[in-house]
Amino acid sequence: MPFVYLASQSPRRSQLLTQMGVAHELLLPQADDPDPSDHPDALEALEATLAHEWPRDYVQRVTGLKLQAAMRRAQRRGLAGVPILCADTTVALGPRILGKAVDAQEAREMLGALSGQNHAVLTAVAVALDGQVRQALSVSQVQFADVSQVWLDGYIASGEWQGKAGAYGIQGLAATMVAHIEGSYSGIMGLPVFETYQLLQASLAQPVARNTSAFVHPSSSISNPHTQG
């Protein structure tokens, strides 16, 4: 089985790597890092959108910037010879990019906009090993049911909207509002398993052992997310 450094604080990505049978260790910024550009606050700023930026370009650009920061971090810490994996997820309603809501009011507005609508969830993945970078992009479509005010009030009160693109995670309470998806369920969670497997396999130039008993397999059309992973 491979070992990778995961440059992400997302528990969902760590969970999916574990399900793939990939041993990993977190490679995260520290507040006392000598490089100010690698402080947590500075890295959050990387997620700012550019004017007229399309969702596909945005998510790949942010992933690349985060990977570059992780590569510098690994170099400072004397870590070499191990793949570094980074990913970023965004939700797009047409050309509109829905990142992480800054407060409950913005989360409410985002979910209201998604109510009854079809939207895209894009996750970019990048793997670096010995200076060589490989990238992949997963794009899935999600159809939301009409969201009632009662449901919305309860969801906002739960706090599940925090730290999630589009103010929701498909693996939580929001699954009750997901009528249909097309694409990768794991990609919507935050780490497309198929694309990640392919990147690791190419980077290591050898087959990556799969934990088939817990493998989350993407489907081209999934109508009931509760049956997945």
| Residue with more model confidence, 119 or 208 | 119
pLDDT in tens, 136-172: 999 999 999 999 999 999 999 999 999 999 999 999 9
DSSP 8-class letter at 36: G
Closest C-alpha to 189, from 155, 225, 214: 225
pLDDT for position 34: 73
Q: Active site includes 88?
A: yes
Stretch 212-218: mean pLDDT = 33
User: What predicted TM-score, i.e. pTM, was given to this entire model?
Assistant: 0.85
Range of the domain at 90: 3-209+217-227
Q: Which residues pair with 129 in a beta bridge?
A: 132
Angle at 4 between CA 21 and CA 58, to 5 degrees: 105
Name the domain count of the chain: 1
Would you list the DSSP string of 55-92? HHHHHHHHHHHHHHHHHHHHHHTT--SS-EEEEEEEEE
Q: How far apart are CA 87 and CA 188, in angstroms?
A: 12
Residue of 88, 103, 130, 153 marked active site: 88
CATH number at 70 reads: 3.90.950.10
pLDDT in tens, 110-133: 999 999 999 999 999 999 999 899
Percent of the chain whose pLDDT exceeds 90: 79
Q: Is the pLDDT of residue 214 over 70?
A: no
Identity at 115, one-letter amino acid code? S
Q: Which residues pair with 98 in a beta bridge?
A: 91
pLDDT in tens, 171-182: 999 999 999 999
pLDDT for position 32: 73
Identity at 63, one-letter amino acid code? T
